[in-house]
Structure 1
């Protein structure tokens, strides 16, 4: 089994491709299979989400490229930024992982959320697509620390 233990940015020269859904890309330790059938064990530092195109280096130096798998998602498209922002606001209030793109928002398919979006005046498109939600303000993506002072001086 190939042991993948380090992040790298050199994924364009990859020896293999690891296709993973979002839930797995949030984990730091798991077993998986490359597209060519090679078994891998992933052993990474905690606190980082693997993103589409990231590279993982094996103990022997081989680089494997991460690819976001197609998943069941709902996509909301709207040319009006205010309306789309309103939908994103209401989804965010439900702490839904949300992918935000140019003219669209995407979340894991959920019929209750689809009904809410329709109630706000927009249609949803259920589809199979890679899911790359926003990392969030306090981490959850590439390690961009949360290091402001929490002491409040009066």
Structure 2
């Protein structure tokens, strides 16, 4: 079956839970335009979208007996629960220093599983639990280019 359009989202659509066939993606796949997958009920599908980007809950097919929607695969994660603004600052600094992508929901910070983070949790004294999560959006890696800024600054100073 070939699916080419997002026709709605599970959050705002009428459907019967027992009729949903989930198309499970790794969170990185949410940004892809072309995918070949199987639904949770075993149907093979090809997703071919004109525009890039899927979201958790996007409906790609619906009829009287079936709804096919996107969800992310459950994967290991840490849920960090800072007890104070001081703990929040310390853990945010450490995660940012490592360029660790995170999601903030309420008073929790959620990061993908990485065993080496446990040393940081111990160092900062922050409470955390290891769990499984379905991420609803891809993590955004915000790289920076110190070398460009420094090179530009050096160039400006050299010409002054």
* Pairing 1:43–2:48 present: yes
Aligned counterparts of 1:107 and 1:64: Cα–Cα separation in 2: 28
Change (3 A) 1:81 1:63: farther
Aligned counterparts of 1:38 and 1:133: Cα–Cα separation in 2: 24
Change (3 A) 1:81 1:8: farther
Aligned twin of 1:4 = 3
Q: Deviations over 1:71-118 (max 9, x none)?
A: 011111124244224423432333322121112111111011221232
| Maintained 8 Å contact 1:52/1:67 | yes
| 1:2-151 map, 5 Å | 2-11=1-10, 12-13=13-14, 16-45=21-50, 47-48=52-53, 50-57=54-61, 64-132=68-136, 136=140
For these two proteins, the number of residue pairs brought into alignment is 133
Aligned counterparts of 1:81 and 1:57: Cα–Cα separation in 2: 45
Aligned counterparts of 1:134 and 1:45: Cα–Cα separation in 2: 19
User: Which ranges in structure 2 are unaligned for 5 or more consecutive residues?
Assistant: 143-160
Higher helix share: 2
Aligned counterparts of 2:114 and 2:31: Cα–Cα separation in 1: 20
Q: Deviations over 1:39-91 (max 9, x none)?
A: 1112224543x332222248xxx852112221011111124244224423432
After superposing on structure 2, the runs of 4+ consecutive aligned residues of structure 1 that deviate more than 2 Å are 7-16, 23-28, 44-48, 54-58, 78-86, 92-97, 131-138
Change (3 A) 1:108 1:137: closer
TM-score normalised according to structure 2 size: 0.66
Following TM superposition, by how much is the alpha carbon of 1:133 offset from its aligned partner in structure 2, in angstroms?
5.2
